[in-house]
Amino acid sequence: MRGLGMRRTVTGYTTAWLDLSAGLEALRAGLHQKWRNQLVRAERQRLRIRDGHGGAALGWLAERHDQHRRRRRFGGPTGAFAAALAVLAPRPQDALVLLAERGSEPVAGVQFLRHGDAATYYLAWTGPEGRAAHAHNRLMWEGIERLAAAGVRWLDLGGLDATMPGVTRFKLGLGAAPVTLTGTWL
């Protein structure tokens, strides 16, 4: 771009892409050791995974996500926007919501949005009890299994941000490859 006489005005967005076509066995082997150990611990917990495509499950997740956004002053999408995307999805199954429950109470939730042969990890929340049980690792793995079974080849785990190193480590711990877009040039 510089060779064309252009200058960068905005640096490129960096996200993490996970190739689901490698197969579940290879994906599990590609997990970073700490991530895999947390998944094994989560699988031993008495967590029930409930799925949905919107409705009450997404309402619960969106409400907690919005509370977290306000408390942490996080600039991500609102729960209302995530719910609108689920309602407007071409097929109900293009919006996947997974909740981890202990007893009858959810302790964590995630939303994935499918678009063609790819999907995006879009919304998430985990409370203290969910963090202690590594429920988020379990939900991510369950989501990967379900998306792969539905024919999804790529999972976009979302932006990598140096100001949120724990989130970045979590996403890269899945064995995802960082991808940086070119940015804006004028």
Q: Would you state the pLDDT for residue 26?
A: 97
Q: Would you state the pLDDT for residue 22?
A: 94
Q: Which residues, in sequence order, are bridge partners of residue 178?
A: 16
Residue 47: what are its φ and ψ, rounded to 5°? -105, 135
Q: Would you state the pLDDT for residue 104?
A: 87
- pLDDT at 140 exceeding the cut of 90: yes
Q: Would you state the pLDDT for residue 1?
A: 87
- Output the six-digit token pair for 185: 């040039």
Cα distance between residue 37 and residue 52, in whole Å:
27
**Could you read off the pLDDT of 69-90 as tens digits, one per residue?**
899 887 788 999 999 999 999 8
Q: Locate tokens 């094994």: which residue?
A: 40
- The whole-chain average pLDDT of the chain stands at 94
**Could you read off the pLDDT of 86-119 as tens digits, one per residue?**
999 989 899 999 999 998 899 999 999 999 999 9
Q: Would you tell me the crossing angle of helices 55-72 and 79-88 to the nearest 10 degrees?
A: 150
Q: Which of 129, 132, 135, 128 is nearest to 109 (CA)?
A: 135
Domain coordinates of the chain in residue numbers? 2-185
- pLDDT at 123 exceeding the cut of 90: yes
Q: Does domain 2-185 have CATH number 3.40.630.30?
A: yes
